[in-house]
Amino acid sequence: MLTVFNDCEVTPGDVTTIKEEEEEEEEDQTDTNRFSIFNGEEDKENEEEDEDENIFPMSVPRPEPMDTESLTFEDLLKSDDRNDAIFFLLTLDELMTFVIAQYRVLVRNVSSNSRRGISDTAMMENLLDSSIAFNFALQSVQQLEMELQAQHSHLDTPCRLLATLALPELTVEVDSIVKRYSSKSCDRSDIIAFLGDCVQCRFHNPSDSWNREGSIVNEFVDLYEIDTVGKLELEQLFQQILLATSLELPNKAEKGLEKLRKIGEQRAGKPHPSHSWLAHQS
């Protein structure tokens, strides 16, 4: 049989060959379509990898060093004493909280063992833990105290530390008195030491040899050659400090102090509760 396409002769063998070639092309296209889904997933994965590399690069450039100068020993000595005192007390509070928690565990376990009839020797482990916590806190406080005094030599007593925190307005007032009524200059650290020692006078008995209540103002006046008017103002300020300290200390109501507290509240126009000096420190 002879087939003619556009004046070309095609034999049956040629037709068979053409059909076989078409079938092979269809099979190739079928195979291609069969695995095309995987090719699409590979492309998608490659795109995701490119996005991941953009978001999380494998190599990160080294940051440029910041232009900052390291603190020197002189800078540390010039740091603010009030901020350092606050940090000291906050750290002290954290340490004491840690110690209290250990001893609370000890008390709770001892009470529990007593109710269950367990021997007291079972508390030895908790007792050792509490002792270790206490010794650690004690050593830490000693280290903090030495560091604080190395930076601020005038903060060598608890009352001077308290004056730094609770009496900043009085510090400014004493500085103003010295500038107005003395020819000598007075450092802020000396004023804080004076105020702290004034506070400490209230903690001594009148007969105590360490009590400087009768001489502390005169010593400060003589040291900085303050005139009579300035001395009078310092005396009044000193009496106010003694009264404020007396109102600050009680843990329960006392008849004489309650009367003074009411007088102070009437003059100030606001309440003056005990233990208020550190309650509102910023």
Q: In whole angstroms, how far apart are CA 9 and each of 2, 3, 14, 17, 282?
A: 7, 6, 10, 14, 107
pLDDT at 95: 92
Q: Inform me whether the pLDDT recorded for 194 exceeds 90.
A: yes
Return the higher-pLDDT residue of 70 and 116.
116
Helix (H, G, I), strand (E, B) or coil at 180: helix
Across residues 181-197, what is the average pLDDT? 92
pTM tops 0.75, yes or no: no
8 A C-beta contact, residue 134 and residue 99: yes
The ranges assigned to domains in the chain are 3-47, 80-151, 158-268
Across residues 64-78, what is the average pLDDT? 63
pLDDT at 264: 65
Q: Inform me whether the pLDDT recorded for 27 exceeds 80.
A: no
Q: Inform me whether the pLDDT recorded for 109 exceeds 70.
A: yes
CB-based contacts of 33, cutoff 8 Å, min separation 6: none
pLDDT in tens, 212-262: 888 999 999 999 999 999 999 999 999 989 888 887 776 555 566 666 666
Q: Inform me whether the pLDDT recorded for 36 exceeds 90.
A: no
Confidence band of 66 (pLDDT split at 50, 70, 90) = low
Q: Inform me whether the pLDDT recorded for 147 exceeds 80.
A: yes
Q: Inform me whether the pLDDT recorded for 21 exceeds 50.
A: yes
Long-range contacts of 245-251 (CB under 8 A, 24+ apart): 245/199, 245/202, 246/202, 247/272, 247/274, 248/274, 248/275, 248/276, 248/277, 249/202, 249/274, 250/274
